[in-house]
Amino acid sequence: MIRALAPALAALLAGPAAADPAPRFLDRAAALPVPHVYSGGWHHFVGGGVAVFDCSGDGLPDLFVAGGEGPARLFVNATVAPGAPVAFRTGEGPPLTGVTGAYPLDIDGDGILDLAVLRVGPNALLRGLGGCRFEDATEAWGFAPGDAWSTAFSATWEPGQDWPTLAVGNYVDRARPDGPFFACDDNELHRPAGRRFAAPLALSPGWCALSMLISDWMRTGRRDLRISNDRHYYVRGGAEEMWRLDRLRPLTEADGWPRVSLWGMGIASRDITGNGFPDVMLTSMGDQLLMLNDGGGRLRPAPYALGAYAQRPWFGDDGRPSTGWHAEFGDIDNDGRPDLFIAKGNVDQMPSNAMADPNNLLMQQPDGTFAERADAAGVASPHRARGAALVDLNADGRLDIVVVNRRAAMEIWENATAGAGGFLAVEPRQPGPNARAVGAWVELRSAAGSQLQEVTVGGGHVSGQAGPLHFGLGAAAGAEVRVIWPDGTVSDWLRLPAGSRLELWPEGRRALRTVPLRP
């Protein structure tokens, strides 16, 4: 055990778990009906995200993928049965180009997921109609689309509001003739005015945002906006940011917020130490910075020996720094310990950084450290990866991997890990406008330890998901779960058997009602 790790990590690791199986993946890129490439020049050196959500209503996740200068595409999940090989068909997506990424959320509270689409140019809000059909609701909902280079997004429901607050992060100001250096654009906050959006508020100055995440990171019930920024273009003066939404101001060193500057590209958040507070992974050029959350508004860099910095390619003789983009925590082998996937790839032909820069699959070990397993797992792609997702595409209880590449075809990796542990897949739902319970926390306790996940919209690298939260259980036969709802109400604990795939609904003041998830 590394002494610098949080003492609560011992509690997470104390319970029994299945024997650690070697992760293994199958290449299912051919499951896509057509190859998909995120393409384009300088404006699409960044971006390249994927939105993962069930738009067809069959319980299987579908994919809306940014295309850059090419068209964005909708791939509808056509897997024939749970556990069958992953398959997709082409959907009738909206004909949009210039798309950098997208995030699913139910904006109007009708129970059908909508899409917030980021672009180089006017952004768009697409209202879901069911059956993977969409209509452009940007104007009808009063959303100011702008004409910026949008590269980051997050959303939440603020107290007393029927509609969400949307945060949009913008990159370099394309209208600045003296750019691109020292020419970062302002970011935007779109608050609701009834059942539409008011004029946006500028979050100024901007520092070239590439990722945003609204989260109750201090576990006080207050949700703040984290922004990860690219110092390559702000050069100096900028830093990573945390904005208080209730007062609309950034935290400073006087608030205890440390000043950290990096080539920020992606955000991932999850409690990996078991102390009840979400830790944060920040991707960058060079070090991938994991910040451990000790509570009380205190974040500290993880010790180097933890094995998460992933600062250089793990194969080959290219000793130049890596370039990290999308990061995501997920339990790949279902042993009860969150693992970490990082999509890697050179910006384009940047000579200071590694050219062949394979993605990382960092598996958490019993002592809490991380070990590289991308080679053994068969996901050692050297392409210029951008956005990504960890998601169970074929409802077999194992997380698969989706990777969007720049100048190379998109990848689908099906998890075929033999001997993986048990799992739970649960999705909090509630009546009313915030139907997907954004801001809720799901707590789990089992023989494999305690786990915690928050329902958020945002983070990653222009890649968002909506759907069930996945928990690995190791050898445990089941687990107890409870939900801390967005209004702070805490449910009773509910015992669930391993392998359950359920919606969790509030029943009365504290009870939980379960509804089976399809398929």
Residue labelled with tokens 């068909």 = 89
Q: How far apart are CA 519 and CA 513, in angstroms?
A: 19
Residue 449: the pLDDT is 86
Task: Dig out the tokens for 425 from the structure.
Answer: 């897949």
Percent of the chain surpassing pLDDT 90: 92
Q: Decide if 256 contacts 317 (C-beta within 8 A).
A: no
- CA–CA distance, 505 with 381 (Å, rounded to integer): 40
Residue 217 CA to residue 270 CA, distance in Å, equals 10
For residue 259, pLDDT over 50 is answered with yes
Contact yes or no for 288/228 (Cβ under 8 A): no
Cβ atoms of 327 and 360 closer than 8 Å: no
| Whole-number Å distance between alpha carbons of 13 and 449 | 6
Left (φ > 0), alpha (ψ -120 to 50) or beta: where does 275 sit?
A: alpha
Residue whose C-alpha is closest to residue 345's, from 390, 387, 288, 383: 383
Q: What is the mean pLDDT of residues 216-239?
A: 97
Going through 439-489 in order, the beta strands assigned E by DSSP cover 441-446, 449-454, 457-458, 464-465, 469-474, 478-484
Backbone angles phi, psi at 459, to 5 degrees: 80, -165
d(CA 388, CA 403): 4
Q: Is the pLDDT of residue 14 over 80?
A: no
The pLDDT confidence band at residue 15, using thresholds 50, 70 and 90, is: very low
Closest CA relative to residue 384, chosen from 63, 30, 153, 46: 46
Q: Is the pLDDT of residue 472 over 60?
A: yes
Residue 150 near residue 103, CB atoms below 8 Å: no
Query: Cα–Cα distances in Å, from 69 out to 23, 40, 41?
Result: 35, 5, 8
- Identify whether the C-beta of residue 294 lies closer than 8 Å to the C-beta of residue 275: yes
Does this model's pTM top 0.85? My answer is yes
CB atoms within 10 A of CB 408: 18
Is the pLDDT at 315 greater than 90, yes or no?
Answer: no
User: In Å, what is the CA distance from 481 to each residue of 8, 310, 431, 432, 491?
Assistant: 19, 33, 20, 23, 9
Given a cut of 60, is residue 181 above it in pLDDT? Answer: yes
* Out of 15-24, 148-157, 398-407, least confident range: 15-24
Q: Which two tokens stand for residue 342?
A: 């990082």
Tokens representing residue 351 in the block: 């000579």
- Residue 321: partners with Cβ closer than 8 Å, 6 or more residues away: 285, 286, 311, 312, 352, 353, 354
